């Protein structure tokens, strides 16, 4: 018997399909060529150390020791800051000139690394760069929304192999976020608390969907996960925007991000994935009812007509079983950054 589940924060329904059920291990593609088997340097790669002349001047550089994260303008930007955002068209053809910022975040100069294999210190540098650059964009009065994301692998939309993320500053609020904001506000009005704070308490108390837990963050498969191994990294401290977090939170987030990504890398054999940072619009301050978080979506199955048509997903994996699978992945010692989740959960 399958089950329909609803995420209380996003109000999205998902079909957890046991008729099509797959064991977590059935979703692992053993034929994948892992990132660490690539060459360490590629002559043609604009992001490798030594090839810096192939990109524009960085807008931001963060370094620790030999490791540097460089933020550079995207060579093929979806939006540019040449002209201010102007309403064009008419009432029924609403348009704005394509104002915006589109940056690439180069995650170090080594071609065959990936976030999962970096040290906690390197991930701190990475997160620090994302935080600082998104804050810079958020301060531009024309920017209404900042999205930080990463495409890892071809099926996740990456067009370059070298590990990198992207930051886009938009002059409008996407419709999806408008709906999320209004749902979160409605929850707050009815229940008197932030729905994301509530979810943090529930998931850490219950534990069956946890992947890892640190002082300040929980990494878990949501009750109504949209796809197998879809996970959220949810902060304990209530901030509406990622770029408001403290250095202490950056350090803690680096640990849990590393452990989560390493469990996916080793457990699922380096699948393609997307990482998204969801947050409130830049023009809003600290909102009592909205909470930033990271959504991490491994690409182990494919969305099709049903998903496009309904906006709903069919997930062939039980979130509780997927979480247990990831908790039990054996990690090489250097990738264990957090104490194990109490054995009673499994």
Contact flag: residue 141 with a copy of itself (CB under 8 A):
no
Question: CA torsion sign, 251 to 333 to 328 to 3?
Answer: positive
Show contacts with a copy of itself in window 66-105 (CB under 8 A).
Answer: 76-80, 82-83, 85, 88-89, 91-98, 100
Q: Could you tell me which stretch among 45-53, 248-256, 268-276, 327-335 binds a copy of itself (CB under 8 A)? A: 268-276
Minimum CB separation from a copy of itself for residue 281, in Å?
A: 12
**Closer residue to a copy of itself, CB minimum distance, 266 or 313:** 313
- Part in contact with a copy of itself (CB under 8 A); list of ranges 245-253, 258-266, 299-307, 330-338: 299-307
How far is it, in rounded angstroms, from Cα 111 to Cα 341? 33
The yes-or-no answer on residue 164 being catalytic is yes
DSSP secondary structure letters along 287-337 = -TT---EEEEEE-SS---HHHHHHS-EEE-S-HHHHHHHHHTPPPPGGG--
Interface region with a copy of itself, contact rule CB under 8 A, candidates 48-56, 249-257, 295-303, 324-332: 295-303
- Per CB under 8 A, contacts with a copy of itself among 28-47 are none
Of residues 199 and 287, the one with the C-beta less far from a copy of itself:
199
> Tokens in use for 309?
């048509």
Using the structure block, give the residue that is written with the tokens 């650059």: 133
User: Should residue 312 be labelled a site residue for a copy of itself when binding is judged by CB under 8 A?
Assistant: yes
What does DSSP say about strands 145-152 and 273-278: parallel, antiparallel, or unpaired? antiparallel
Total of chain residues touching a copy of itself, rule CB under 8 A: 79
To the nearest whole angstrom, how small is the minimum distance from the Cβ of residue 248 to a copy of itself? 26
d(Cα 69, Cα 40) in Å, to the nearest integer?
17
Q: Which of 164, 230, 239, 291 is catalytic?
A: 164
Rounded-to-integer distance, Cα 273 and Cα 299, Å: 5
Q: Which of 239, 237, 266 lies closest to 252 in space, CA to CA?
A: 237
Q: Which of residues 16, 117, 264, 287 is near a copy of itself by CB under 8 A?
A: 16
Cα dist from 128 to 59, 124, 216, 305, 336, whole Å: 14, 6, 16, 39, 22
Residues in region 159-178 near a copy of itself by CB under 8 A? 166, 168, 170-172, 174-177
4 binding a copy of itself? (CB under 8 A): yes
Binding mask 98-137 vs a copy of itself (x if CB under 8 A, - otherwise)? x-x-------------------------------------
Site for a copy of itself in 198-217 (CB under 8 A): 198-199, 202
**How far is the C-alpha of 147 from the C-alpha of 143, rounded, in Å?**
11
Shortest spacing between CB 12 and a copy of itself, in angstroms: 5
The answer to whether the beta carbons of residues 246 and 328 sit under 8 Å apart is: no
Tell me the torsion sign for CA atoms 188, 191, 192, 198. Answer: negative
Q: Looking at the annotation, which residues are catalytic? A: 164
């Amino acid at each position: 018997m399958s089950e329909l589940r609803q995420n209380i924060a996003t109000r999205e329904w998902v079909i957890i399909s046991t008729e099509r059920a797959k064991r977590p291990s059935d979703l692992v593609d053993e034929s994948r060529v892992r990132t660490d088997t690539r060459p360490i340097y590629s002559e043609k790669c604009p992001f490798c150390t030594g090839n810096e002349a192939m990109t524009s001047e960085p807008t931001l550089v963060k370094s620790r020791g030999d490791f540097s994260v460089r933020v550079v303008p995207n060579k093929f930007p979806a939006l540019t800051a040449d002209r201010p955002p102007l309403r064009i068209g008419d009432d029924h053809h609403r348009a704005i000139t394509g104002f915006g910022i589109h940056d690439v975040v180069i995650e170090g100069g080594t071609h065959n690394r990936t976030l999962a294999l970096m040290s906690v210190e390197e991930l701190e540098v990475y997160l620090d760069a994302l935080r600082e650059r998104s804050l810079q964009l958020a301060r531009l009065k024309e920017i209404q929304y900042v999205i930080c994301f990463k495409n890892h692998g071809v099926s996740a939309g990456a067009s370059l192999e070298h590990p990198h993320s992207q930051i886009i500053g938009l002059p409008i609020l996407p419709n999806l976020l408008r709906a999320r904001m209004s749902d979160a506000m409605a929850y707050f009005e009815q229940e008197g608390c932030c729905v994301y704070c509530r979810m943090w308490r529930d998931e850490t108390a219950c534990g069956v969907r946890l992947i890892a837990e640190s002082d300040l963050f929980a990494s878990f498969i949501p009750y109504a996960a949209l796809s197998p191994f879809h996970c959220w990294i949810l902060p304990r401290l209530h901030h509406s925007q990622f770029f408001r977090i403290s250095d202490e939170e950056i350090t803690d987030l680096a640990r849990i991000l590393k452990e989560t990504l390493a469990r996916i890398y080793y457990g699922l054999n380096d699948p393609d994935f997307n990482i998204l940072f969801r947050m409130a619009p830049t023009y809003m301050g600290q909102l009592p009812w909205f909470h930033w978080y990271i959504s991490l979506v491994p690409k182990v199955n494919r969305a099709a007509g049903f998903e496009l048509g309904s906006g709903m997903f069919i997930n062939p994996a039980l979130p509780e079983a997927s979480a247990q699978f990831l908790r039990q992945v054996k990690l090489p010692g250097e990738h264990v950054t957090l104490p194990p989740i109490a054995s009673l959960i499994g």
